[in-house]
Amino acid sequence: MCKTKRRNKMNFDLKTSLILLLIAFCFSCNSEPIELSNHDWKVTDLTGSAATKKDLSKLSLIFKEDKK
């Protein structure tokens, strides 16, 4: 009898924890779109380029508003 109660309590705690984790995850997701033009973007890697990291650090990406 004691083992059954302990096992049921463990299942309840696990289910409760999973439900709370799922709820927290759903509320932590931001559904608003990100406006790329509101951020400064720096180049860190350019595939196939012979440029050094120092040269790449001088480059930046510019996203104009309302461009897709």
Percent of the chain with pLDDT over 70: 75
Banded pLDDT at 30 (limits 50, 70, 90): low
* Tens of pLDDT, residues 34-55: 777 787 888 888 888 888 888 8
Task: Say how far apart CA 63 and CA 41 lie, in whole Å.
Answer: 9
- Please tell me which residue, 57 or 6, carries the higher pLDDT value: 57
Task: Say how far apart CA 45 and CA 32 lie, in whole Å.
Answer: 28
> Which residue is listed with tokens 């049921």?
8
Domain ranges across the chain: 1-32, 33-68
